[in-house]
Amino acid sequence: MAVQSFAFEWCTEDGITLQGHCWIPPQAKALVALVHGFGEHLGRYEHVANFLNQHYYGLIGFDQRGHGRSQGRRGHIVSYDDLLENIREMLALAIDKFDNLPLFLYGHSMGGNLVANYLIRYQPAYLKGAIITSPWLRLTRAPSFFLQAAVQLVYWLFPQASFAAQINPQHLSKDIAIQRLYATDPLVVRRMSVSMFTEVNRAGQFAIAHAEKINLPLLLMHGNDDQITSVQATEEFAKRLSSSKLTTYYWENMRHELHNEIEKEKPLKAITSWLEQQVQSVN
């Protein structure tokens, strides 16, 4: 299969250049737009692109500001709205180039937080559905009351202050090779600003409280052994969604990165099967 693979970039309204990439197979059935999680980058999803391509689905995405090869202060945001706007810009580019293809939005971890908020706040009728995996709606272990109070104080005084994200590679996947690659990846961001933490955390609570406003077909998946983002928060979020448009999978013995687990073919096949159902309903 002669997959078309190409890099692209664009400059945001506030002057930051973001780096993107697209993998599109011949006779693609649809295009999936990916929003990655905190600290990582799009390059960690090339195998996901390959899997989707084999089933005739394209994948497009970008390194978020302050991540990977994109510009911006590492692990920091001035405003959460900037992240949502960058997703809108990426989707506009995708529609401009592939206007004949059904378009889906896919977010993992912090990207799942962003996708949920994007659906709630933008109400994008041009999307045919969305996929959210292991969303950061709440963390599995919430900071203590005193630590949260300290973070709030720093947020108001010095929002760009940063701290070690302390993501344990063993919590991502049971696959030791994945753990080692993450630990040595020079593009992984390992510090998070107080502004980033506070804004994303607040947006997670907002997404749970307003989940009923999502009116598109949604595939929601989480691993029951996730020690980074809360599966209980995902369940709360799911209860507020329209059951007629929701498909959920809670994977036993799987950790945070379902797409990088030893049994990754199971959740990846669930994604392609769900996409097939949505594409058939569109046609």
- As a whole number, mean pLDDT of residues 91-118 equals 97
CA 188 – CA 182 distance, rounded (Å): 7
- CATH number of the domain within which 103 lies: 3.40.50.1820
What per-residue confidence (pLDDT) applies to 145? 59
- Please work out, in degrees rounded to the nearest 5, the angle formed at the alpha carbon of residue 221 by the alpha carbons of 21 and 89: 30
CA 278 – CA 283 distance, rounded (Å): 9
Mean pLDDT of the chain: 95
Identify the residue whose tokens are 């997703």.
Answer: 87
Residue 196's domain comprises 4-282
3-state SS record for the chain: CCCEEEEEEEECCCCCEEEEEEEECCCCCEEEEEECCCCCCHHHHHHHHHHHHHCCEEEEEECCCCCCCCCCCCCCCCCHHHHHHHHHHHHHHHHHHCCCCCEEEEEECHHHHHHHHHHHHHCCCCCCEEEEECCCCCECCCCCHHHHHHHHHHHHHCCCCEEECCCCHHHCCCCHHHHHHHHHCCCCCCEEEHHHHHHHHHHHHHHHHCHHHCCCCEEEEEECCCCCECHHHHHHHHHCCCHHHEEEEEECCCCCCHHHCCCCHHHHHHHHHHHHHHHHHHC
- Please work out, in degrees rounded to the nearest 5, the angle formed at the alpha carbon of residue 113 by the alpha carbons of 109 and 114: 110
Count of C-beta atoms within a 10 Å radius of residue 241: 18
Model pLDDT for residues 140-193, shown as the tens digit of each residue: 977 665 566 666 777 677 788 888 898 999 999 999 999 999 999 999 999 999
- As a whole number, mean pLDDT of residues 41-50 equals 98
What per-residue confidence (pLDDT) applies to 224? 98
What per-residue confidence (pLDDT) applies to 144? 60
CA 8 – CA 61 distance, rounded (Å): 10
CA 75 – CA 41 distance, rounded (Å): 12
> What global pTM score does this model have?
0.96
Please tell me the total count of domains within the chain: 1
